[in-house]
A and B are shown apart, each in its own frame.
Chain A
Amino acid sequence: MAQDKVTIKIPRPLYHKIRQIIDDSGFNSPTDFIVYVLRDVISEKGAENREQFSPEELSILKKKLRNLGYLD
């Protein structure tokens, strides 16, 4: 699993600031907080540029619409 992750460096004062912010916030660590925030940002950016469906999602959707009689 360690191979699924990379190390990113951030300035130490920012790290300390994040630790203050996440106190009693529900985030276990600065890493959790940073990953959460980045996923949010990427989601917003991705919504503008992303393909609507993955190939698997498209296949499922087509089958669903055919079962409903909406597609041949």
Chain B
Amino acid sequence: MIEPHGGTLVNRIADKAHAAQLRAHAAQLPAIELNNREVSDLSLLAAGAMSPLEGFMTRDVYESVLDTLRLPDGLPWSLPVTLSIKDQDVATMTTPFIAALVAPQTRQPIGVIAVEEVFRPDLKSEARRALGTDDPDHPGVAYLDSLSGAYAGGKVWMLERPIQPPFEEYDLLPAETRALFAKKGWNTVVAFQTRNPIHRAHEYLIKCALEMVDGALIHPAMGETKPDDIPAGVRMECYLTLLKNYFPAEHVALSIFPYAMRYAGPREAVHHALLRRNYGCTHFIVGRDHAGVGNYYGTYDAQKIFDLFDRDEIGIEPVMFEHSFYCRKARGMASQKTTTSAREDRIFLSGTRVREMLAAGEELPEEFTRPEVAQVLMRHYAPRPGK
């Protein structure tokens, strides 16, 4: 089984006795209300998905990641993982201190943090370094623009196993996917990350990769996405439909990845790969414009960035694919690398075009998506009566 990043799978989910003590204490502690991304990050930190991280970043770790794409000890790490504190709370917080981490809106305690440091980041600089832009139209920049005040860094505890309704039964923690792979005898596992429904091009990439490994983990990001991304419930129905009809159950598993997308393109591709290593995966599919948005990143920048690291530093093997599509000339799925067909022989639709067609009630071509998946999408996008 592949080692977790850094060598040890972190576990900062408090056991019953510990959680009871923390919960009793939490009511008296200053509270830091998390946003949705921070709830996702807390879940991932506590469950070991972000090993070797044990909490939100202090300034030295944050700056090291932004400047060098590495933790201070040299381990690759490409994106900051941070906890925001509101301006009005900063003045009252003198470190070190312990605070309750409370859920947004309900303000129920879900964790605690031993804050080692509170610091004021340069968010514009973070945007430029982490995202490659400070354009406010970039969703990752918009997130940073929504923050105020400071960041708090320190180790965390989560009070109980994070639950991801309504997909709880598909929510496997890193220790659990590792146990699954061991039980199935999968020595090599390829992970597929997506924030979209799986269309035929993606299916093609997964199956190409599956020819080389023992198993595939379909691992969709189910944390916060941008407003025009397809809702999580619809996507999940698409995945289940596709797997049921087109994938062999003995070689594929589906589990949700409670990660909030940053849309950071290349840096996020590395981040996604490292986290999947912690889930026990040995390979990771990187297609065109992985974790990209709009035209902020070059088509294959998210593949080229892996050249910054030695393979054994990353540990998980990126499996690179070029732009893939249905090829009329080849009468099957192909990629830019494997066909000589002209553009007009290639059937591919952008996400925008797909949404336009669905909103207009147009059928998606079966060369682009499986009819069973198309039906799920059309049900979701079908014009409502009277509208």
Q: Which of B228-275 contact A (CB under 8 A)?
A: 249, 253-254
B10 and A47 contact, CB distance less than 8 A: yes
Q: A25-B96, A26-B25 are in contact. List 17 more A-B contacts (CB 8 A).
A: A24-B97, A25-B98, A26-B97, A35-B21, A39-B18, A43-B11, A46-B11, A50-B11, A61-B176, A64-B169, A65-B176, A65-B180, A70-B180, A70-B249, A70-B253, A71-B180, A71-B184
Bound complex: CA of A40 vs CA of B170, how far in Å? 29
**Number of interface residues, chain B, beta carbon within 8 A:** 32
Q: Which of A6-39 contact B (CB under 8 A)?
A: 21, 24-28, 32, 35-36, 39
Could you mark each residue 154-180 of chain B with 1 if its beta carbon is under 8 Å from any beta carbon of chain A, else 0? 010000000000000110100110111
Bound complex: CA of A52 vs CA of B179, how far in Å? 9
Specify which of A27, A47, A71 is in contact with B11 (CB 8 Å cutoff).
A47
B94 within 8 A of A: yes
Bound complex: CA of A14 vs CA of B204, how far in Å? 63
A3 within 8 A of B: no
Residue ranges of A at the interface with B (Cβ–Cβ < 8 Å): 21, 24-28, 32, 35-36, 39-40, 43-44, 46-48, 50, 52-53, 58, 61, 64-65, 67-71
A47 and B8 contact, CB distance less than 8 A: yes
How many A-B pairs with Cβ below 8 Å?
Answer: 61
Shortest distance between the CB of A36 and any CB in chain B (Å)? 7
B249 and A69 contact, CB distance less than 8 A: yes
Q: B29 — nearest CB in chain A belongs to which residue?
A: A26
A26 and B169 contact, CB distance less than 8 A: no
Residues from chain B with a CB closer than 8 A to the CB of A64 are 169, 172, 176
Bound complex: CA of A7 vs CA of B111, how far in Å? 28
Shortest distance between the CB of A57 and any CB in chain B (Å)? 9
B378 within 8 A of A: no
Residues from chain A with a CB closer than 8 A to the CB of B65 are none
Specify which of A25, A52, A53, A71 is in contact with B97 (CB 8 Å cutoff).
A25
